[in-house]
């Protein structure tokens, strides 16, 4: 059994409008689902992704208008990387540089160019290039042509004190260690990447129609414990092919000494959660049923969607959700 990559990443943001304006309008991701936090239905849960909300492209947010700012620290995912085609990198440098509060000029990591910048809540984001991602659909917006669109995650970076136990777990999950670059060590989902250092930075593979698997990068640095709040990542979810495989993984994780939760129904996937040994909250989410279960591709993300158990409270929920114009 091998995990085939990241399914989604979930973060906490401030107000939903600022979040939408940044991720949908500046980064050009498609808002593929407008729903609520099932455990706190007066809070939005916004899903961004490619044109169909494919696993490997999904970035989701719980926006809390009045929450305290968080701070990334050890035991947290500290950066989210997006992949664009090589020919589009400079286009993004030009686009992003004047639109964000922090912008680090282009540098190179693992042989690929990368820019690092902050979202409006201080969450660290990166844009880099991966081979063959131009074959992926992405999403076109008013001022971002489809050819330049963000295609998928490139990587998620975990900030850790030493990373030894986390590396061991990633290998149980089927990830292969690739090269190191300074304080970063890169792991590739099994079979998703040439492990050759010289191969364009060991970039992801994308045969037609298959989203390449984003890397997991360990950022090894002694630092203080993080504080969850706006501008921080809540968890990183990995892909399970189906519910049966998810249960097999649950057993395997328990045998490895971890404590996964029972399966939770998240409407668009089934989930189990566990803390990896370095402290980062991981989730294992099933690919099915996916974002198209309750609305068509043309109208994805346009209407408030509620799971059957909350539908009876729709009126109350609509009245209590913070304002959001999409
Ligand atoms: Zn999740």
**220-262 residue pLDDT tens:** 999 999 999 999 999 999 999 999 999 999 999 999 999 999 9
- Spacing, Cα 47 to ligand 1 middle (Å): 10
Q: Is 199 helix (H, G, I), strand (E, B) or coil?
A: coil
- Spacing, Cα 285 to ligand 1 middle (Å): 7
Predicted local confidence at residue 1, as pLDDT: 84
Average pLDDT over residues 54-60: 96
- Spacing, Cα 10 to ligand 1 middle (Å): 6
Name the residue among 58, 82, 108 with its Cα closest to residue 236: 58
- How far is residue 200 CA from its own chain's centroid? 23
Peptide bond into 254 cis (omega under 30): no
- Spacing, Cα 281 to ligand 1 middle (Å): 10
- Spacing, Cα 8 to ligand 1 middle (Å): 6
Strands 40-49 and 30-37: antiparallel
Predicted local confidence at residue 190, as pLDDT: 83
Asked if residue 250 lies in contact with residue 3, where contact means CB atoms within 8 angstroms, the answer is no
- Spacing, Cα 94 to ligand 1 middle (Å): 32
Average pLDDT over residues 167-180: 96
**65-107 residue pLDDT tens:** 999 999 999 999 999 999 999 999 999 999 999 999 999 999 9
Average pLDDT over residues 141-170: 96
Higher pLDDT, 190 or 233: 233
**Whether residue 36 has pLDDT greater than 70:** yes
- Spacing, Cα 284 to ligand 1 middle (Å): 8
Predicted local confidence at residue 142, as pLDDT: 84
Q: Is 80 helix (H, G, I), strand (E, B) or coil?
A: strand
- Spacing, Cα 121 to ligand 1 middle (Å): 20
- Spacing, Cα 235 to ligand 1 middle (Å): 6
In CATH terms, the superfamily for domain 6-320 is 2,3-Dihydroxybiphenyl 1,2-Dioxygenase, domain 1 (3.10.180.10)
Question: Residue 22: which pLDDT band, with cuts at 50, 70 and 90?
Answer: very high
Predicted local confidence at residue 212, as pLDDT: 61
Question: Residue 122: which pLDDT band, with cuts at 50, 70 and 90?
Answer: very high
Instruction: Tell me how far apart the alpha carbons of residues 210 and 215 are, in angstroms, rounded to a whole number.
Output: 15
Asked if residue 233 lies in contact with residue 10, where contact means CB atoms within 8 angstroms, the answer is yes
Higher pLDDT, 42 or 206: 42
- Mean pLDDT across the chain: 93
- Spacing, Cα 148 to ligand 1 middle (Å): 27
Which string of b and e fits 201-221 if b means at least 16 CB within 10 Å?
A: bbbbbbeeebbbbbbbbbbbe
> Looking at 34-38, 98-102, 264-268, which range is the least confident one?
98-102
Question: Residue 191: which pLDDT band, with cuts at 50, 70 and 90?
Answer: confident
Q: Any idea of the CA torsion for 50, 56, 58, 59, to the nearest 10 degrees?
A: -120
Name the residue among 163, 189, 164 with its Cα closest to residue 178: 189
Residues 6+ apart with CB under 8 A from 193: 176, 178, 202, 203, 204, 205, 212, 213, 215
Q: How many alpha carbons lie under 13 Å from residue 157 in its C-beta half-sphere?
A: 24
* Residue 33: strand pairing partners: 47
Structure pTM? 0.94
**195-226 residue pLDDT tens:** 333 333 334 444 434 546 899 999 999 999 99
- Spacing, Cα 82 to ligand 1 middle (Å): 18
- Spacing, Cα 42 to ligand 1 middle (Å): 18
- Spacing, Cα 43 to ligand 1 middle (Å): 15
- Spacing, Cα 78 to ligand 1 middle (Å): 16
Q: Where are the alpha helices (DSSP H) in the chain?
A: 16-20, 89-97, 164-172, 243-255, 308-311, 314-320
Predicted local confidence at residue 265, as pLDDT: 96
Q: How many alpha carbons lie under 13 Å from residue 146 in its C-beta half-sphere?
A: 8
Q: How many alpha carbons lie under 13 Å from residue 134 in its C-beta half-sphere?
A: 10
- Spacing, Cα 273 to ligand 1 middle (Å): 8
- Spacing, Cα 122 to ligand 1 middle (Å): 20
């Amino acid at each position: 059994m091998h995990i085939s990559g990241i399914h989604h990443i979930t973060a906490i943001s401030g107000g939903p409008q600022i979040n939408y304006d940044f991720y949908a309008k500046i980064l050009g991701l498609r808002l593929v689902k407008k729903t609520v936090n099932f455990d706190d239905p007066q809070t939005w849960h916004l899903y961004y992704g490619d044109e169909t909300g494919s696993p490997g492209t999904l970035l989701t947010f719980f926006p809390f208008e009045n929450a305290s700012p968080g701070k990334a620290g050890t035991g947290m995912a500290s950066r989210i990387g997006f992949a664009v085609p090589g020919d589009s990198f400079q286009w993004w440098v030009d686009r992003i540089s004047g639109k964000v509060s922090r912008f680090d000029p282009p540098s190179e990591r693992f042989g690929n160019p990368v820019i690092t910048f902050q979202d409006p809540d201080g969450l660290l984001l990166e844009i880099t290039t991966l081979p063959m991602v131009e074959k992926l659909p992405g999403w076109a917006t008013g001022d971002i042509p489809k050819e330049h669109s963000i295609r998928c995650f490139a990587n998620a970076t975990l900030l850790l004190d030493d990373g030894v136990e986390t590396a061991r777990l990633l290998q149980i999950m089927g990830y292969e260690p690739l090269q190191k670059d300074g304080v970063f060590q890169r792991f590739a989902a099994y079979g998703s990447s040439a492990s050759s250092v010289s191969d364009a930075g060991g970039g992801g593979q994308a045969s037609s129609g298959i989203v390449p698997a984003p890397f997991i990068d360990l950022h090894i640095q002694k630092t203080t414990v993080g504080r969850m709040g706006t501008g921080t990542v809540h968890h990183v979810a990995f892909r399970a092919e189906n519910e049966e495989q998810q249960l097999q993984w649950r057993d395997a994780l328990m045998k490895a000494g971890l404590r996964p939760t029972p399966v939770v129904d998240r409407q668009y996937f089934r989930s189990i959660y566990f803390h990896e040994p370095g402290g980062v909250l991981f989730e294992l989410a099933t690919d099915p049923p996916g974002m198209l279960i309750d609305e068509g591709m043309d109208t994805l993300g346009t209407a408030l969607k509620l799971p059957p158990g909350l539908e009876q409270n729709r009126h109350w929920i609509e009245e209590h959700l913070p304002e959001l114009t999409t």
